[in-house]
Amino acid sequence: MSYVSCLRCKECGAEYPIEPRTVCDHDFGPVEVAYDYEAMRGKVTRQSIEAGPRSIWRYRDLLPVASEPRVGLNSGYTPLIKADNLAAELGVRELYIKDDSTNYPTFSYKDRVVAVALMKAIEFGFDTVGCASTGNLAHSVAAHAAKAGLTAFVMIPHDLEEGKIIGSQVFSPRMVKIRGNYDDVNRLCSQIADKYGWAIVNVNLRPYYTEGAKTHGFEIAEQLGWKLPQHTVVPVAGGTILPKIWKAYQEFITLGIVEDNKPKMYAAQAAGCNPVVTAIEENSDLFRPQKPQTIAKSIAIGNPADGYYVIKVVRESGGYGASATDSEIIDAIKLLARTEGIFTEPAGGTTLAAAIKLIQQGRIPRDESICVCITGNGLKTIEVMHGQFAAAPVINAKLSEFDVIVDEIKEKAAAATATAGV
Amino acid sequence: MEVTISIPTALRPQVDNKDTVKVTGSSVREALGALTAQYPELGKRLYAGENELNRFINVYVNDEDIRFMDNLDTALKEGDEVSIIPAIAGG
Ligand SMILES: Cc1ncc(COP(=O)(O)O)c(C=O)c1O
Ligand SMILES: [Zn+2]
């Protein structure tokens, strides 16, 4: 049974049938899937969700699919980690990491949105799917399309990390690299969607694609024991996931599945690409586009389509924003790895670095529950960590040579204790 | 100054289904003014206020966003291409 009623413009409320559609005809506002929450009451419950599969499809009643899921059967349901080591380091009481670096099949939050978008592509009868991507989306479209038997066409900026390029190419999509930044790629892609009539997941499947991002928020609430964290810190690129985590929280509140504890949302951006955080700091409704200059390439979107809604949700919820420099991003990647054993990419480093700043500024209180959304995997972007670590010693396969190393480690530790004791 | 304005699918019904329209103007403001004088229905969708474009629309002159130049006052020369493109999601 589907509870979907229609597509509705977020600006003027105009309604459209469930069809491939990019924006509202009247005002270009984004259209969003609307549901019949009344009909869900008493039917979509904690129990009904708990009875579902361990994937994004356990939230199927709150997703816009009409048929039995055939894409992304293993996507989502990533761990929510109680990050006690990191919490101790940061001096906060209750800290969680929602870890989409382990998402299936391509290790980023995009596996959620693409699963829903490709389900709709199949339902609408498309055989070719495409995307404009900063890397992760292409990776996920290529993999999900391979499994679903669809042809994939992925458009990326020419200068992405190798892991993101090979990581997509291995699935044999048609890949086109575009000279320019993501915003140039996106502009071209919108013209391609116009001309060729393909299913471009972030263009004419956008309303369905974006709904998939809600599952990140649903999972946080469920895995926290049907509770919302008081503070959620989220990376912002095009601005899809932050408002959708918020929508997920609000839907659970509407359905009586969780209590409304007035959750606050916080936006994280790289200092080299922070149009949304700048607007939040300047208390402005509109952002000024930027030309990105940051190691956090996956979130380097200078002209975010949904930036306006990120600003709105952050403000309405009582949250705020923070940006992180390249070196703060690297430090945060290392900190998360050292304390929690999680290797994230620069997008995750940005989010943790921003969370740390917000805690230090007192914007996020140390004694309330905090969730940091880690949305990507560090193994895709190893080049950013080059030169960060001392070279490992190389020895022959002789125990005596290994003994030397152990002795050196002991000596260093002793010297360190001695210095500390002075 | 004659320039070509390219129209996205969503706006084509307002311009007799053309994908490009040629107008004259020495700035983006003048060119869009000429376009909307010819097609008033389009004007309602293009502008949020007198001097403000609808925030979900991006305007480019030869592939550069006008917000990186002089916005509506960006100067045009003969043969420039002005594109109207809705903001799109992604990442
Ligand atoms: C790893 C990662 N995190 C976060 C985002 C944020 O995306 P958005 O704000 O467009 O939802 C992206 C987008 O590409 C991403 O790749
Ligand atoms: Zn509308």
Task: Output the DSSP codes for A216-241.
Answer: HHHHHHHHTTS---SEEEEE-SSS-H
**pLDDT on residue A421:** 67
Atom number in ligand 1 closest to CA A238: 10
Cβ of A303 and B87 within 8 Å? yes
pLDDT of A223: 98
How far A235 CA lies from chain B's nearest CA (Å)? 11
- Residue A234 confidence (pLDDT): 98
Closest atom of ligand 1 to A134 CA is 14
Which of A108, A58, A354 lies closest to A231 in space, CA to CA?
A354
Using DSSP's 3-state secondary structure scheme, residue B26 falls into coil
Backbone angles phi, psi at A154, to 5 degrees: -120, 135
CB contact under 8 Å between A289 and B65, yes or no, is yes
Say whether pLDDT at A113 is over 80: yes
* Collapsed DSSP state (helix, strand, coil) of residue A133: coil
Q: Which ligand is nearest to the CA of A378?
A: 1
**Contact: B88, A305; criterion CB under 8 Å:** yes
Q: Tens digit of pLDDT for each residue in A291-345?
A: 999 999 999 999 999 999 999 999 999 999 999 999 999 999 999 999 999 999 9
Asked if A130 contacts A198 with a C-beta cutoff of 8 angstroms, the reply is: yes
The reported pLDDT for the residue numbered A177 is 95
pLDDT at B91 exceeding the cut of 70: no
* Average pLDDT rounded to a whole number, residues A137-165: 94
pLDDT at A216 over 60: yes
pLDDT tens per residue, range B22-60: 999 999 999 999 999 999 988 888 888 877 889 888 999
Q: Ligand 1 test: best mutation among A240, A274, A343, most atoms within 8 Å of CB? A: A240
d(CA A217, CA A98): 9
Segments in A107-181 forming alpha helices (H): 110-124, 136-148, 162-169
Strands, E assignment, A51-150: 80-82, 94-99, 128-132
pLDDT of res. A419:
82
- Return the CATH number of A80-106+211-385, one of 3.40.50.620, 3.40.50.1370, 3.90.550.10, 3.40.50.1100: 3.40.50.1100
| CB-based contact, A108 to chain B, within 8 Å | no
Put simply, the answer to whether B90 touches A11 (Cβ < 8 Å) is no
Mean pLDDT over the full length of chain A: 95
Rg (CA), chain A: 22
Above pLDDT 90, what percent of chain A?
89
Q: In a mutational test of the pocket of ligand 1, which residue from A299, A342, A345, A351 has the highest number of ligand atoms less than 8 Å from its CB?
A: A299
B 27-86 residues with CB < 8 A to A: 45, 54-58, 60, 63, 65, 67-68, 83, 85-86
pLDDT of residue A214: 98
Helices first, then strands: H and E counts in chain A: 15, 13
State the pairing for strand pair A80-82/A94-99.
antiparallel
pLDDT at residue number A260: 98
What is the location of CATH 3.40.50.1100 in chain A?
A: 80-106+211-385
Domains parsed from chain B with CATH numbers: 2-86 (3.10.20.30)
Q: Examine the pLDDT at B89 and tell me if it is beyond 80.
A: no
pLDDT at A72: 97
d(Cα A249, Cα A235) in Å, to the nearest integer?
Answer: 17
Mean pLDDT over the full length of chain B: 90
A349-375 average pLDDT score: 98
Please report the atom of ligand 1 found closest to the CA of residue A239: 9
Centroid of ligand 2 to alpha carbon of A270 (angstroms):
31
ipTM above 0.95, yes or no: no
Q: Mean pLDDT over residues A394-421, rounded?
A: 92
**Nearest listed ligand to the Cα of residue A233:** 1
The CA distance from A422 to A202, in Å, is 60
| pLDDT value, residue B90 | 67
pLDDT of residue B47: 87
User: Average pLDDT of B75-80?
Assistant: 96
Question: pLDDT band at B21, cuts 50/70/90?
Answer: very high
